[in-house]
Amino acid sequence: MLKTEGIVLKEMRYRDTSKILNIYTKKYGKINVMARGAYRPRSQIIANTQPFSYNEYQLYRGKNFFYLNQADILDSFYSIREKMERVVYGQYMLELIDKSMGEEQENEKIFMLLIKGLKVLGSLDRHFLKFIIAYELKFISFLGYKPYLDKCVICGNTDKKNMKFSITEGGIICSNCFLTDYFSIYIDTDIYEAIQSLLYTPLEKIGDINISEANLNKLHEIMVDYILYNIDRKKFNTLNFIKSFE
């Protein structure tokens, strides 16, 4: 019998009364869990098996799945479901985990960031795009690909008056190194300072940072491309919904 905290990322119906859950756990990373009887009319685990549900699970390992023995809810994050923007951005946060983490790849920092992020998201009424960019920056840093921002990632030049962001090199590059990456993206000092602020400011305090809408949109495009490049994926499905809000 195994015991761990976990958050439901996805659910899939299995036969008439059961579910297969994709759960990101604190101790065992991302795992697939069979929840028998979850669709029965009077099931006691309905709330424990929905996306966003944060529980303490008792599981046992089978041949193809973990099996759910017991679940005690720690936070349903019900407030996320009260506003469409929260749902859409929350689904993107869950998809980030699903697309980035391998099976049973434990990362406690990522797990705690997800918990913190969902708690902050549940109280947001605005600044959603700013919030998600700050979350993306922290997420990719905890994944091991923190953007290199102190100086040119190629030559070490500290001049930040004329710089670009290189997806492939993983940080800023100076004008002397532009030819190294023809696809690098020009960023001005405002965007550079925005990256620094969003990376190091706690999620609950990002509302205090002033960033123009144009810079937010450009920065979000950079971060999405940077994450996709480093996790070797082509797209995030939930971004289509996010773009409709933007």
Q: Would you place residue 26 in the very low, low, confident or very high pLDDT band (cuts 50, 70, 90)?
A: very high
Residues 178 and 235 in one domain: yes
Evaluate if residue 42 carries a pLDDT over 90: no
What CATH number is attached to the domain comprising 64? Answer: 2.40.50.140
Q: What would the two tokens of residue 200 be?
A: 């190091």
pLDDT at 89: 96
User: Which of these, 25, 29, 28, lies nearest to 53 by C-alpha position?
Assistant: 25
* Ranges 59-63, 99-103, 137-141, most confident: 137-141
Residues 120 and 15 in one domain: no
For 208-224, what is the mean pLDDT? 95
Write the pLDDT tens digit of every residue in 50-81: 999 999 999 999 888 899 989 999 999 999 99
Domain boundary among 25, 59, 76: 76
Domain count, the chain: 2
Residue 224 CA: distances (Å) to CA of 113, 136, 146, 241: 18, 8, 14, 14
Residues 35 and 126 in one domain: no
Helix (H) or strand (E) holding 166: strand 163-166
Contact 72, 44 (CB under 8 A): no
Residues 103 and 191 in one domain: yes
pLDDT at 113: 98
Angle at 187 between CA 181 and CA 190, to 5 degrees: 160
Residues 166 and 227 in one domain: yes
Q: How many residues does the chain have?
A: 246
Residues 95 and 212 in one domain: yes
Higher pLDDT, 194 or 242: 194
Range(s) of the domain holding residue 107: 82-245
Write the pLDDT tens digit of every residue in 154-185: 999 998 889 999 999 999 999 999 999 999 99
Residues 104 and 152 in one domain: yes
Q: What is the DSSP letter of 103?
A: B
pTM: 0.94
Write the pLDDT tens digit of every residue in 106-128: 999 999 999 999 999 999 999 99
Helix (H) or strand (E) holding 133: helix 128-140
For 21-36, what is the mean pLDDT? 94
Higher pLDDT, 134 or 240: 134
Q: Would you place residue 13 in the very low, low, confident or very high pLDDT band (cuts 50, 70, 90)?
A: confident
Contact 72, 94 (CB under 8 A): no
What CATH number is attached to the domain comprising 222? Answer: 1.20.1440.120
Looking at residue 174, its amino acid is C
Residues 96 and 194 in one domain: yes
pLDDT at 245: 66
Evaluate if residue 199 carries a pLDDT over 90: yes
Residues 41 and 129 in one domain: no
Higher pLDDT, 48 or 115: 115
Residues 175 and 225 in one domain: yes
Domain boundary among 42, 76, 110: 76
Evaluate if residue 189 carries a pLDDT over 90: yes
pLDDT at 246: 61
Residues 129 and 173 in one domain: yes
Q: What would the two tokens of residue 156 be?
A: 């070490």
Residues 109 and 128 in one domain: yes
